[in-house]
Amino acid sequence: MNATLTPVAAVHYAITTYRSMYARHFHELNALCDADGVIDGAHDEYDDKRYELALEADDLIDGIMALLTEQFGLPTDRPVAVLGANGFTYDVTPGLIDDAARRAFTEGQCHALALALTEMTGWPATALLTLECSALDEMCNDAGVEDDTCPCRIGHIVVTRPDGAHIDIDGAHAPGTIPDCEDAPAIPMTEEMWAAVRDASTWRQADLHVARTLVTPLLASLTT
């Protein structure tokens, strides 16, 4: 997809691409049915094909929604759903740092905010580690770091300001004072660790679209 499309062209792209996919999927599934549209005996083949096409549709819709969001931005007059940890979803209003935003970007999307802050400021991301490795998602296997800094131990991700302060959605903290992470070992995030986070099912996909809307108000709050 071309992110330089005009807004109208982006909408037309979304419509025409979806319609093309829908027509192709219809014909592929219809080929497994009889003249009355009833599955023609090959139920397993039909189910396998339907699953395959559903995955393709999911990928296309994800890409289209990302394109439209880039073109039109997120609404600022209503909340949008943000995935958190442990199956929770938070209703966060883009650009507004309130209790919902603080929970979402502390409990599941801290990595998204760290990425967005690094994009804007250049400040490096820092991992705060738990005491023990939980050995989830094979994050501790072949991650490119020593056992005592295993990515599976990442409990929270912040950015480190030039003065040494750790920055997260709650503002600036002296090292070792972030609630629930007091005295946690802090190490720089590496590319290998970011790759492990991206690949782990226990970490949500970074919601950068919402995170980026919070960077400006967060930085403004640090100077007041």
Q: Same domain, yes or no, for 141 and 54?
A: no
- pLDDT value of residue 3: 56
Domain-embedded: residue 148: yes
> Which one of 31, 49, 72 terminates a domain?
72
Q: Which residues pair with 20 in a beta bridge?
A: none
Q: Same domain, yes or no, for 49 and 120?
A: no
Measured CA to CA, the distance from residue 35 to residue 19 in angstroms comes to 23
What are 91's two structure tokens? 């209703």
> Does pTM surpass 0.95?
no
Q: Same domain, yes or no, for 140 and 167?
A: yes
Measured CA to CA, the distance from residue 218 to residue 133 in angstroms comes to 31
Domain-embedded: residue 181: yes
Listed in sequence order, the DSSP H helices in the chain are: 7-30, 43-72, 99-104, 110-121, 191-199, 208-222
Q: Same domain, yes or no, for 102 and 55?
A: no
Measured CA to CA, the distance from residue 155 to residue 114 in angstroms comes to 13
Domain range holding 38?
A: 7-72
Domain-embedded: residue 102: yes
Measured CA to CA, the distance from residue 33 to residue 56 in angstroms comes to 21
The DSSP output letter for 39 is B
| Span between the terminal Cα atoms of the chain, in Å | 41
- pLDDT value of residue 134: 60
pLDDT higher than 60, residue 90? yes
- pLDDT value of residue 150: 64
Measured CA to CA, the distance from residue 51 to residue 174 in angstroms comes to 50
CA nearest to 117, candidates 19, 211, 189: 211
> Which one of 23, 38, 72 terminates a domain?
72
Stretch 85-92: mean pLDDT, rounded?
A: 93
Q: Same domain, yes or no, for 62 and 141?
A: no
Amino acid symbol at 26:
F
The pLDDT tens digits for 11-60 are: 999 999 999 999 999 999 999 998 888 887 778 999 999 999 999 999 99
The pLDDT tens digits for 121-179 are: 999 999 998 877 665 545 565 544 555 456 678 889 999 999 999 999 999 999 999 99
- pLDDT value of residue 14: 95
Maximum alpha-carbon separation in the chain = 72
Backbone φ and ψ of 160, nearest 5° = -110, 115
Q: Same domain, yes or no, for 61 and 93?
A: no
- pLDDT value of residue 140: 60
- pLDDT value of residue 209: 96
Domain-embedded: residue 2: no
Indicate the average pLDDT of the chain: 89
The pLDDT tens digits for 192-212 are: 889 888 887 778 899 999 999
Q: Same domain, yes or no, for 190 and 173?
A: yes
> Which one of 72, 101, 129 terminates a domain?
72
